[in-house]
Structure 1
Amino acid sequence: MPDSDRRPHASLRTTGVAFVLVWCTGYIAGALMVAQAAPLTALVWRFGLAALAFGAFAVAAGVAWGDGRARLHSAVTGVLMLALQFGGVYLAFAWGASAGVAALVIGTMPLLVAALAVAGGDERLRASQWGGMALGLAGVALVVADRIDGHTPWPAWLALLGGLVGISVGTLYQKRHASRIDLRAGLALQNAAATLVLLPGAWWLEGLRYADAAGFYLPMLWTVVVNSLGGFALLFVLIQRGAATGVAALFFLMPPVTAVFGVWILGEHLTALKGAGFALAALGVWLATRRATAPV
């Protein structure tokens, strides 16, 4: 492969590593924030502040906000990838789902994205890439096996399935329709749309309940600055430059990397089973993404 071809692939790999590391911190920060606030209220704070920040960046840079169709596509993406995904996950936590159950459900996202992309004619995958997807899912299952219980209520399952559909369909929708607008303007619109969708529930059902304390504000600022401003910027750069299935496969690494962060930050134990799951997930991502950097 010529050097000119290697450089874009190396850049995508570097961006992918940065995305995984940044995204995984959000699970810990989000859990800390939800412990101090109602789930939808926490998301209204996060997405509302992120919308203001991205909007300020877009105005300061004087970027174009696109036509009405482009703005509508960005809003739909925000409802799917932000409001539906995170609303489902945060509500599931509030309704009794464990972190292991949530990670396992959302961890199937790469398989659903791949199936939808193939069915829609967006991409074609080889047998080795399907095998990589299966290995990645098996790795996720090993990592979260000790956190799965049999007491998750059915509303929590439904909420997680809603979150899974949101991020899966949203990834493909972003790739197909919402990548033709400036990143700053698009993310401002997406976060604003998510805020508007979640605000009625946060207001009427939760009374915008949150603790006026550092235990809420510090993780909330982390989710805004690091996860929303940094994580979603990296995610949408990856979606714009790579195949949707290749980007989705990175989510197999989320539970293992989050488990490592849990060892450092929360004092959790990294068992041999989790280590094996980490290795299996990494192998699955390598198989699923090594030739999946561009759609067919």
Structure 2
Amino acid sequence: MKPARVLPRAGGGLTVLGLSFVMVWCTGYIAGRMMLDHAAPFTALVWRFAGAAMVFAVLALAVRARASRRDVLHSAVAGVLMLSMQFGGVYLAMAWGASAGVAALVIGAMPLLVALLAFFAGTERPHRAQWCGLLLGFAGVVLVVVDRVDGATSARAWIGLLVGLLGISLGTLYQKRYSSKIDLRIGLAVQNLSATLVLLPLALAEGFRFESAAGFYQPLAWTVLVNSVGGFALLFVLVRRDAATAVASLFFLMPPVTALFGHWLLGEHLTVLKGAGFVLAAAGVWLATRTPRRAAED
């Protein structure tokens, strides 16, 4: 008899929880871009993560939440990967001239990288339908952003985006394996604090530059209260209950939904190609998060 395959649990995809996460997360790209118009990249992130750390710390203290030293250390590592590396790389790349299309295309490869890393690490073994879903989802991302990708992105901006891609991919897997059982409030307070401490020297090196104006504080408040508090709380819950590959596949929906926000809020033009990309991305997420009917062994 063949050993049973390790099938990841699905269910985190096209559900209210999953779609809520996508909607909340997508607004962060717009708010983050607005912050970078008024602040240096690492300075903006230090403000964001420090604010989120304080919110979660207050919530943890209010209920006297507790966690072991081991869980706290694991959360700190997850924070460095998912927050410092991901957003540090992406914000720096955008400050160096990377377009939103290029950034979306690189980060859009995250579900595929997570699936490959999980497969080779032996922690998850996606079935055929999931692999098809991952490929369909990435194809959808390409269709949505292809008209915004140009050849002007510098080598250093590409490096920044790849650092961000590696950070969120490794961070998702690390959190799933080592840091998904800790109290949500403590875990996210530690993650945001660790990210703040790692990025603070870089923010000081760039002069801690920001404009004390509404154009900075308004998107900052949004990224703290909606994206960091709401978005990462939803991500934390999804990673805790579902397979890393299934959760990662939700990122295929980020570029299409961001394009819709751009159409509604900024008057950006929607094309048939973008519509086709949205359909492909949604189909990819559905396939990547569904549970196969067959038993895991023949």
Q: Which TM-score band applies after superposition, normalised by the shorter structure?
A: over 0.9
> 1-side partners of 2:112 and 2:39: how far apart?
33
Q: Aligned partners of 1:199 and 1:124: how far apart in 2?
A: 38
Cα deviation per residue 1:182-236 (whole Å; 9 max; x = unaligned)? 00000000000000000000012x2111111100000000000000000000001
Q: Take 1:9 and 1:191, find their aligned partners in 2: how far apart are those partners? A: 27
- Note the residue ranges of structure 2 that are not aligned, 5 or more in a row: 1-9
Paired positions, count: 284
Alignment equivalent of 1:37, drawn from 25, 36, 39: 39
Cα deviation for residue 69 of structure 1 reads 1.3
Q: Quick check: 1:117–1:123 contact (8 Å CA) kept in 2?
A: yes
TM-score, normalisation: structure 1? 0.94
Aligned to 1:246: 246
Match of 1:128 in 2: 129
TM-superposition CA deviations, 1:134-178 (whole Å, max 9, x none): 010000000001110011110000010000000000000000001
Inter-CA distance 127–11: structure 2 relative to 1 (3 Å threshold): closer
| Partner Cα distance (2:13, 2:284) in 1 | 20
- Cα distance in 2 for partners of 1:242, 1:16 equals 11
Q: Which residue of 2 aligns with 1:259?
A: 259
- TM-score, normalised to structure 2, is 0.93
Q: Map of 1:26-175 to 2, 5 A cutoff? A: 26-64=28-66, 66-175=67-176
CA shift in 2, pair 1:91/1:173, >3 Å: same
Does structure 2 conserve the Cα–Cα contact (< 8 Å) formed by 1:250 and 1:285?
yes
CA distance in 2 between counterparts of 1:128 and 1:93 reads: 35
The amino acid of 2:291's aligned partner reads: R
Correspondence for 1:5: none
Aligned counterpart, 1:291: 291
Q: Which runs of 4+ in 1 moved over 2 A?
A: 8-12
Unmatched segments (≥5 aa) in structure 1: 1-7
Q: How does 1:3-22 map to 2 (within 5 A)?
A: 9=11, 13-22=15-24
Q: CA deviation at 1:13?
A: 1.6
| Deviation for aligned residue 1:10 | 8.5
Residue 218 of structure 1 corresponds to which residue in structure 2? 218
d(CA) in 2 for partners of 1:125 and 1:181? 26
CA distance in 1, matches of 2:104, 2:43: 22
RMSD: 1.4
The question of whether the paired residues in 1 share the 8 Å contact of 2:11 and 2:289 is answered with no
- Per mean C-alpha deviation after superposition, the further-off stretch among 192-201 and 113-122 is 113-122
Q: Determine the C-alpha separation between the residues in 2 that align with 1:285 and 1:112.
A: 15
Q: Tell me which amino acid in the other structure corresponds to 1:30.
A: G
The structural deviation recorded for 1:125 is 1.1
What residue in structure 2 maps to residue 4 of structure 1? none
C-alpha contact 1:12 1:238 (8 A) present in aligned 2? no
Q: Cα deviations across residues 4-40 of structure 1 (Å, max 9, x unaligned)?
A: xxxx948982110100000000000110111111010
Per the alignment, residue 231 of structure 1 pairs with 231
Secondary structure of the 2:15 match is: helix
Bigger shift: 24-33 or 9-18? 9-18
1:234/1:12 Cα in 2 relative to 1: closer, same or farther (>3 Å)?
farther
| Contact 2:13–2:247, Cα closer than 8 Å, also in 1 | no
Distance in 1 separating the partners of 2:232 and 2:250: 14
In the alignment, is the contact (CA less than 8 A) between 2:114 and 2:244 conserved in 1? yes
Distance (whole Å) between structure 1 residues aligned to residue 15 and residue 119 of structure 2: 23
- Identity across matched positions, percent: 66
SS at match of 1:17: helix
* 1:201 paired to 2:217: no
Q: Amino acid of the residue matched to residue 58 of structure 1? A: A
Q: 1:25 maps to which residue?
A: 27
* Partner AA of 1:219 in structure 2: P
- Using the alignment, how far apart are the partners of 1:182 and 1:11 within structure 2? 23
